[in-house]
Structure 1
Amino acid sequence: MLSLDLCTFDPGLRVKSPSAFAAEVTECVETSWDDGADIVLLPEFTWMGLEPLVEPPTLRRVAECFWGELFPTLKSLLCRPEKAVVLGTVPFWDAEREVLHNRAPILLGDRVLYQDKLHLTPWESAFAPGKEVRLWEFEGLRFAVVICLDIEIPELSARLRGAGVDVILVPSATETVLGVERVDRCASARAVELGCVVGVSHLTGKAASELIDENVGRTAVYFPSQAAFRDSPRWVEGEIVAAGIHKQRVLIEPRALERMRRMRQETNPSLLSVSPHFEIVQE
Structure 2
Amino acid sequence: MRVAVCQLNTRDNRATNLVTAGELLKQAAAAGADLAVLPEYVDYLGPAAGVPKPEPVDGEFAAFFATAARTLGMWVLAGSFHEAGPDAERTYNTSLVFDRDGELAATYRKIHLYDVEIPGRVSYQESKTVAPGTEPVVVEIDGARVGLSICYDLRFPELYRRLAVEGRAEVLVVPAAFMMHTGRDHWEVLLRARAIENQCYVVAAGQIGDHDPGRTCFGRSMVIDPWGTVLAQAPDTTGVVVADIDLDRLATIRQELPSLANRRL
Matches of 1:81 and 1:48 in 2, distance apart?
23
User: Normalised by the size of structure 2, how large is the TM-score?
Assistant: 0.82
* In 2, Cα distance between equivalents of 1:120 and 1:66: 20
Q: Name the SS for the 1:45 alignment partner.
A: coil
Where 2:67 maps in the other structure, the secondary structure is: helix
1:227-246 residue pairs with structure 2 within 5 A?
234-236=229-231, 238=233, 241=236, 244-246=237-239
Percentage of identical aligned residues? 23
Q: How many Å separate the matches in 2 of 1:97 and 1:207?
A: 26
**Other-structure match for 2:216:** 214
Structure 1 residues not aligned, in runs of 5+: 226-232, 277-283
For residues 101-125 of structure 1, the C-alpha deviation after alignment (integer angstroms, 9 at most, x for no partner) is 1111211223212211111112213
Displacement after TM superposition at 1:167 (Å):
0.6
SS of 1:63's equivalent? coil
Contact 1:192–1:269 (CA under 8 A) maintained in structure 2: no
Distance of 2:164 and 2:63 partners within structure 1: 36
TM-score (norm 1): 0.78
Query: In structure 2, how many angstroms separate the alpha carbons of the residues matched to 1:245 and 1:46?
Result: 12
Give 2:229's aligned amino acid: R
Secondary structure at the aligned position of 2:131 is classed as coil
The whole-number CA distance in structure 2 between the counterparts of 1:267 and 1:65 is: 43
Distance in 1, matches of 2:35 and 2:145, equals 13
In structure 2, C-alpha distance between the alignment counterparts of 1:127 and 1:88, rounded to whole Å: 16
C-alpha distance after superposition, 1:221-262 (max 9, x if no partner): 22222xxxxxxx822463662xx313221111122223334x
Residue in 2 that maps onto 1:10: 9
Partner of 2:36: 40
2:54 aligned counterpart, secondary structure: helix
Change (3 A) 1:66 1:154: closer
Matched, 1:204 2:205: no
Task: Sort the Cα spacing of 1:82 and 1:18 in 2 relative to 1 into closer, same or farther, 3 A.
Answer: closer
Alpha-carbon distance between aligned partners in 1 of 2:42 and 2:24, rounded to the nearest angstrom: 12
Relative to structure 1, the CA distance from residue 193 to residue 26 in structure 2 (aligned partners, 3 Å threshold; closer, same or farther) is same
Q: Where does residue 171 of structure 1 map in the other structure?
A: 175
Say whether residues 1:260 and 2:244 are aligned partners: no
Higher strand share: 2
Q: Name the aligned partner's letter for residue 68 of structure 1.
A: G
Aligned-residue RMSD, C-alpha:
2.8
Question: Which residue identity lines up with residue 155 of structure 1 in the other structure?
Answer: E
Q: Give the 5 Å matches for 1:1-283.
A: 2-12=1-11, 18-49=14-45, 57-59=49-51, 61-64=52-55, 68-80=59-71, 83-94=74-85, 99-110=90-101, 111-112=103-104, 113-122=106-115, 123=124, 124-125=126-127, 126-162=129-165, 163-208=167-212, 210=213, 213-225=215-227, 234-236=229-231, 238=233, 241=236, 244-261=237-254, 263=255, 266-273=256-263, 275-276=264-265
Distance 1:156 1:103 in 2: 16
Q: Secondary structure at the match of 1:128?
A: coil
SS at match of 1:10: coil
Q: Secondary structure at the match of 1:102?
A: strand
**Contact 1:148/1:183 (CA < 8 Å) preserved in 2?**
no
Task: Please give the alpha-carbon distance, in whole angstroms, between the structure 2 residues aligned to 1:214 and 1:67.
Answer: 31
